[in-house]
Amino acid sequence: MEVKHTYNLDLEWQEGRIGLMSSPELHKKITVATPPEFPGGVEGIWSPEHLFTSAVLSCFMTTFLAMADYSKLEFSKFDCKAEGVLEKVDGKFKMSEIILKPSIVLHDESKTDKAIRLMEKAEAACLISNSITSSVKLDFSAIQVSEPV
């Protein structure tokens, strides 16, 4: 059985290098712009580079949450920082790398290895990570695993 989903977006130019993105399936609109590192770029507005990085980050989160739920991993907090690296490769700009830095508060500290394994599996199973050529790396150096107080 074929599984296929579609996701629709609309973009309306506002002024300069700024647009308003929306979806008929969603209620909120997002203002997007060229990032300030480029000519005509605008500070303080979501850029394609932010959205690209956020797609990997949010996919990692939702995949991890599903796997943690299925595996009955109990935790009281999960968060993750992401860093998208943009660089020129063969004369073209490319998001070459996404670094994910997860943190979790477990109910049982002895489940730390299980949590890390699930995060590794989530990154490997993330449909966004599997759809891009950028490398996606997990950085556990910032992970703070502790039992809730």
Domain boundaries, the chain: 1-46, 48-142
For the segment(s) 48-142, the CATH number from 3.90.180.10, 3.40.50.300, 3.30.110.30, 3.30.300.20 is 3.30.300.20
State the pLDDT at residue 78.
95
Residue 108, pLDDT score: 87
Q: What is the DSSP string of 82-121?
A: EEEEEEEETTEEEEEEEEEEEEEEESSGGGHHHHHHHHHH
Q: What is the pLDDT of residue 34?
A: 98
Q: DSSP code of 7?
A: -
pTM of the model: 0.92
Predicted confidence (pLDDT) at residue 107 exceeds the cutoff of 90: no
